[in-house]
Chains A and B, each alone.
Chain A
Amino acid sequence: MSGIIGRKRGMTRIFEEDGTAVPVTVIEAGPCVVTQVKSDETDGYDAVQLGFERARRKSLTKPEAGHLKKARVPALRELREFRVDEPSAYEVGQEIRVDIFEPGEIVDVTGWSKGRGFQGVVKRHGHSGGSETHGSRSHRIPGSIGQSATPARVWKGRKLPGRMGNERVTLKRLTVVEVDSEKNIILIRGAVPGTANGLVLVRKLNVAGK
């Protein structure tokens, strides 16, 4: 299996044998259930859909409930797809656990970043801002956003204030420090996007380029 769905539980640090302190993120991942197998012939691409976390029937929409009922799996809150090379190796109802990973492995982790609300250009785009003193009144303003007669409009993609955060972020090439398949825990070296208890996807290193 190429990935698993989990929740970020928080961070701590652990010590290696030689005394090096390792900052780790604790992720509770799986057990996930295969809810659908997609193949090139039927869907145009090869993938496995995984479900994570039991939910009450009434918290699902009717289409979601019908889809899960068809797969004969319990009501599940989160459904995500993972691309695989050989979809025929998986069947609906199969359980996926964190033991697909091993310590030392390199993985990609996707999360949804913390929402920062409406932010200015200094925080949102890393602009340096103007002078704070010497008569300057342009402390954190965005500055000029274009010319007058030509082009007489603002170019698309202009960096301006706006909503920041709460977007899908993938960190690549993170190291797995520890895997506990009994407790469904995986420790990743360093930080991972999102809030504590936020949804994360841990994926095997993307070798095939899919």
Chain B
Amino acid sequence: MNEKVRAIEERHQRSADVPEFRIGDTVRVHVRIREGEKERTQAFEGTVLARQGNGPNETFTVRRVASGIGVERIFPVSSPNVQSIVVTRRGKARRAKLYYLRKRTGKSAKTKARDLR
């Protein structure tokens, strides 16, 4: 990529307040949503299935099972609507994309805790 484009991207991407999180981790994402005139923050907690892209284009997929129904949301890391990302549990993953979790239920749909020694 051209270094001038790179410089623009660096200025517009977010890096400082994004914690280090990996595929398999459980995160809580605080999303700013607008309802008409009102603004409020909504939390979405689940397992990170994938991270994709780089620079300001980077996105990550979070999956949770809400009242029996699997819900996945894809967030751009640099979007100002993503107010904060909190890692609630470190998970171990041996794949870059955990799409196989979609077919699983119960205990096998969880990632093993990552040893943080």
Chain B interface size, as a band, is 10 to 19
CB A30 to nearest CB in B, in angstroms, measures: 13
Complex alpha-carbon distance, A207 and B55, angstroms: 38
C-alpha gap A26/B5 in the complex (Å): 6
**Known contacts A13-B57, A17-B80; A26/B32 CB under 8 A:** no
Checking B2, B8, B57, B78 against A187 with a beta-carbon cut-off of 8 angstroms, the contacting residue is: B8
Point out the residues of chain B lying under 8 angstroms from A12, CB to CB.
Answer: 5, 8-9, 12, 55-57
Distance of A6 from chain B, by nearest CB (Å): 11
Q: State in angstroms the CA–CA spacing of A25 and B59 once bound together.
A: 21
Contact yes or no, A10 B32, CB < 8 A? no
- Let me know if A116 is at the binding interface, CB within 8 A: no
- A15 CA / B75 CA spacing, docked (Å): 13
User: A169 at the A/B interface (Cβ < 8 Å)?
Assistant: no
Tell me, in angstroms, the Cα distance from A12 to B1 when the chains sit together.
10
B8: chain A residues within 8 A (beta carbon): 12, 14, 24, 26, 185, 187
Complex Cα distance A196/B5, Å? 11
Question: Chain B 73-89, CB within 8 Å of chain A: the 1/0 string?
Answer: 00010111100000000
Please name all residues of chain B whose beta carbon is closer than 8 Å to the beta carbon of A17 when the two chains form the complex: 80
Instruction: Answer yes or no: B7 CB below 8 A from chain A CBs.
Output: yes
Residues of A within 8 A of B1 (CB): 10
A-contacting residues, B1-25, CB 8 Å: 1-2, 4-5, 7-9, 12
- Residues 10-36 of chain A: 1 if any B CB is under 8 Å from the residue's CB, otherwise 0? 111111111101001010100000000
State the CA gap A196–B2 with chains docked (Å): 9
Q: Chain A contacts of B32 at CB under 8 A?
A: 19
Given A12-B55, A12-B57, also A18-B4 (CB < 8 A): no
Residues 185 to 204 of chain A near chain B (Cβ within 8 Å): 185, 187, 196-197
Q: Which residues of B contact A (CB under 8 A)?
A: 1-2, 4-5, 7-9, 12, 32, 34, 55-57, 76, 78-81
* Interface, chain A (partner B; CB < 8 A): 9-19, 21, 24, 26, 28, 183, 185, 187, 196-197
* 27 A-B contact pairs sorted by A residue (CB < 8 Å): A9-B4, A10-B1, A10-B2, A10-B4, A10-B5, A11-B5, A12-B5, A12-B56, A14-B8, A14-B56, A15-B12, A15-B76, A15-B79, A18-B34, A18-B81, A19-B79, A19-B80, A21-B76, A21-B79, A24-B8, A26-B8, A28-B4, A183-B4, A183-B7, A185-B4, A187-B8, A197-B2
